[in-house]
Chains A and B, each alone.
Chain A
C-alpha cells in the first residue's frame, strides 16, 4: 500500500519526468544502442525466416512401405522429388522408425500402410502418414509443406480423380513431440518474446551499474530524487522502446513471412506490456545486485540461456524432463510464449490467457519491488 502510494507520488511529482527525458536524450545520442535494439531482432527474424525456407528441403527420411506396389513406389518417388525429403533408407517396422528419429540421424518417416493401393483402387482416398521430428518446429513445417505439395501432384500421376469421400490422397503429417506444431509461422511469434527478453534484460541490467561505474550515479543520488522516480525513470523509456521493437518484429513477421494475427492485436499489446515490465524488472533487479557492468552482463546472459532453451521457444516443453519443465515454470518468457502464440496463431482470448497474465504480473511486481527495495541512494 505504502509502496503503491510512493509509486504514484513518484509519477505525480515531476521528478520522474526529468529522469525519463534525460534517458531519452541519452538514447537518442547513442544510435548504436538504438540500432541494436531495433536492428538485431530484424536480422534474427530474417535469419530464422530463411532457415525456415532452406530447412524445408532435404529432411533425412526413412520409408516403411508395407504396400509394396507401383502406387506406393510412385508416392515415394514423388515425395523425394519435392526435395523436402531425402530418402536415406527403408525400414521394416515402426520400432525402427522410432529408433531412427530418436537417434537423431533421421528427421522424418513415411509410412505407407498395406492397403494403400487397394484403397486407391476402390476409389477411396489412399491414406499414408508422414511422421516428423517436431522437436524442431522448422522440420515439421517442412514436412507439412512437402506433404501438401505431394498431395497436389500425385493424384494426376496416379491417374485418379477426387474420390467420393474427398481428395484422392490422404497424406497425414504427424509431428512427434509437438502435437500442436504449426506451420512456418510457429517460430516468429516466439521470436517476439525471445527478442524482448534478450535485449531488455541485458540493457536494464546495465542501467544502474553503468552509472555507478561511470561515476554519474553519485551526483544523481545526492539530489532529492526519490528512488522510485530514479528507477522508474530508467524503466519507462524502455517500455516504449520495447513496444517499438515488438512492433518491428511483428510487422516484419507479418509482411515477410505471413504470420497471422488470429486474435486481438490490442490484447496482445496490452499483455505484452506486462511481460515487458517483468523483463525490465528482472534487468533492474540484476542491476541493483551486480557489482560491475561485466557481472551484470554475465547474470543477464545466465538468465537468457534457459529462457531460450527451456521456455518452449525451440523445443516443446512436454518432451522435457521434469526438472527442465520446473525451471521453465519460473521463467516469465514461458508464459508470454503461451500468450503471444495463443493470440497470433490460435486466436486465443483473455478467457484462456488470464493465468499466464497474472503470473507475468506477479513477476513484474516482485522483481520491480525487489529492485526498489535493494536500491539505496548511497555509494557504499
Chain B
C-alpha cells in the first residue's frame, strides 16, 4: 500500500510508521503530518523514539513497516532524491573536527552539488549570516559547543533545502547561544523552510508553532502547545513532559 499523495501544503506525512530493533519497538504506529513552513517540535523523554523517527524520515533507517512521504519523496524508494531536498543535523556532532569551518562547509556544499563559484558565494553568505566568519579558518574541533552547532547548521543548509531536520541542536549550548540559534531557526522559517526540531528544553518547546509528544515510541499528543497542555489538563508543557516520564517509569 502506498501513502496517498500528500496535499501540497504537507511537508511530511507518515502512515503507521514503525521501527523495531530486535525486541525493542522504538517507534510504533506513528501517524504524523507536518505542514509546509512550520517549525514543528518533536518532544519526549530519552529513548522515546525521536531520533529514530527523524532518521527514518531522512532515509537513514529503513522502517520495519509503514510508510512516509517527505517533501514529495517516498522514504523507501526515493531516498536519494529525498537527500537532495532535506538538511539534517544529527544529534551527535557529525562534522570533521580536523577540518576547518570553511573546509567543512565547502565539503558539504560540494557534496550537495553546488558548483565551485556558487559554492564560494554561498559559504561566505552562510558564514556571515551565522556569524562564523571570524572563525572560518579554525578547526571545527577547537570551537565551543554553540559554535559547533552553528557550523553544523551551515553545512546542513548549504543547498537551501526546503525541509530541515534538527536533532537536539541546542543540547549542551549556553543560554545566549541557544537564543541566537533559535533566532536563526525562525529566520529560516520566515523564508519558507519547514523545520522539524527535537529538544529537551521546555522553554523552547513552548514557543513552537506545533509539537508532537512521543513516549516509548508512541505518539501521545500533537498540536499547538496550548492544545497539548489542555489535553492533559496541565498548566505547562514542562508539566506534560514530567507527567509522561512518570507514566513511562510506572509502565517500565
Contact A25 B99 (CB under 8 A): yes
Binding site for A on B (CB under 8 A): 55, 58-62, 79-80, 83-84, 86, 88-90, 92-96, 98-99, 103, 106-108, 110-113, 139, 152, 155
**B94 pairs with A25, CB closer than 8 A:** no
1/0 per position for A218-250, CB-CB distance to B under 8 A? 111111110000000000000000000000000
Q: Is A26 an interface residue (CB 8 A)?
A: yes
Q: Which of A2-31 contact B (CB under 8 A)?
A: 14-15, 17-19, 21-22, 25-26, 29-30
Are A224 and B84 CB-contacts (below 8 A) given A15-B110, A26-B99, A215-B94?
yes
Contacting residue for A215 out of B79, B93, B113, CB 8 A: B93
Residues of A contacting B61 in the complex (Cβ-Cβ under 8 angstroms):
378-380
Inter-subunit contact A216/B96 (CB<8 Å): yes
CB neighbours of A378 from chain B (8 A)? 59-62
The number of residue pairs between A and B whose CB atoms lie closer than 8 Å in the complex comes to 77
CA distance A19 to B111 in the complex (A): 8
Interface string of A120-134 (1 = CB under 8 A from B): 000000000000000
B96, B106, B152: most-surrounded residue (chain A CB, <10 A): B96
User: Which of B83, B90, B103, B110 makes the CB contact (< 8 A) with A25?
Assistant: B103
Of B62, B88, B94, most A-chain CB atoms within 10 Å: B94
Tell me the nearest residue of chain A to B89, going by C-beta.
A219
Asked whether B103 lies within 8 Å of A221 as measured between CB atoms, the reply is no
CA distance A379 to B19 in the complex (A): 13
* Given A18-B107, A26-B98, A379-B61: A224 and B83 interface contact (C-beta under 8 Å): yes
The reply to whether B96 and A26 contact each other, CB–CB distance below 8 Å, is yes
- State whether A222 touches B80 (Cβ < 8 A): no
Is the pair B60, A224 in contact by a Cβ cutoff of 8 Å? no
Decide if A218 touches B99 in the complex (CB within 8 Å): no
Note all chain B residues with C-beta closer than 8 A to A15. 110-111, 113
The answer on a CB contact under 8 Å between A223 and B108 is yes
Cβ contacts under 8 Å, A221 to chain B: 60
Tell whether, in the assembled complex, residue A18 and residue B88 are in contact, meaning their CB atoms are under 8 Å apart. no
Measured CB to CB, the closest approach of chain B to A231, in angstroms, equals 14
CA distance A221 to B88 in the complex (A): 11
| B80 close to A29 (CB less than 8 A) | no
- Nearest CB to that of B111 among chain A residues? A223
